[in-house]
Chain A
Amino acid sequence: MDELDRRIVNALQGGFPVCERPFAAAAEGLGIDEATLLARLAALRAEGVLSRFGPLWKAEGLGGAVTLAAMAVPTERFEAVAALVNAHPEVAHNYERDHRLNMWFVLATESAAAIAVTIRAIEAETGLAVLNMPREAEYHVGLRLEA
């Protein structure tokens, strides 16, 4: 990542225009040309600096449902339980965290009812309780990670 890459990442974390030539418009704001911006973005994506470039859709608006769930998994069973949980395609992310509740995963499903079904299935397979923590309110954040 050089200085231009940093400027691109910092400037384009939101507000990308919706118009016929949006990369040309965004490039102008950065003082570069469209082809340079496109090439830089393709490279940043290929290198994994950007996980994606485009619209960030809100799951609930699409009729789907999302929740955060947590489990307290005994250390000796951790890998086996992680495999059981991850095998569900509804599990979008799963993190190990340093707490008694040591497994935290995000479920994304086509419907609200499917959240409960998936949680019951995971509880039955693992014999462990799943704490369901759906979002009840979201407070607008404007964090931009500085590159």
Chain B
Amino acid sequence: MDEADRRIVAATQDGLPLVPRPYHAVAAAAGLTPEEVMARMHRLLAEGAIRRIGAVPNHYALGYRFNGMAVWEVAEERVDALGARIAALGLSSHCYRRPRHPPDWPYNLFTMVHGRTREEALHWVETIAVVLGEAVRAREVLFSSRILKKTGLRLVG
């Protein structure tokens, strides 16, 4: 990622301008030509620096008030294969491996599920549990009870 890429990040951090030629507007803000901005964004998408481009819905506004962090303790040597399988189900919005902190926290596979009801969210957790099967040594679901802060990631400026 070079200086010009970072100027594109800064120009799009709050989103794309909602105008007919948004990449032209980004180009003007970043001091680049529109062709350069579009070529760089294609490259950044291909490299994965941009996860995706589009609408980011607010879970709560769509009625998904129940967000459960389902955490699983699985054998270290199986976590990558199982994580890939769980992600492919398309039931969780995030699926990560994270370090354990035994004895307080033995869990190494994290999945986020969303439901319009608590039951719906728990249904997705049970579906994941079926796929993980006997690989699971321990598990819990932590529901969020309150948002204490949400400013979003600010990476530049």
- Which residues of chain A have a CB within 8 Å of any CB of chain B? 8-9, 12-16, 18-24, 34, 38, 41-42, 44-45, 47-59, 61-64, 66, 68, 70, 72, 82, 85-86, 91-101, 103-106, 108, 110, 131-143, 145-147
Contact = CB atoms under 8 A, between A and B. Distances in A.
B146 A95 contact: yes
Contacts of B42: 18
A101 B106 CA distance: 13
Query: A13, A104, A135, A137: which has the most chain B beta carbons within 10 Å?
Result: A137
Nearest to A93: B150
Interface in B1-56: 1, 6, 9, 12-16, 18-24, 34, 38, 41-42, 44-45, 47-56
B59 interface: yes
B22 A22 contact: yes
Contacts of B56: 13, 50-53, 56
A11 to B, nearest CB: 9
Contacts of B90: 141-143
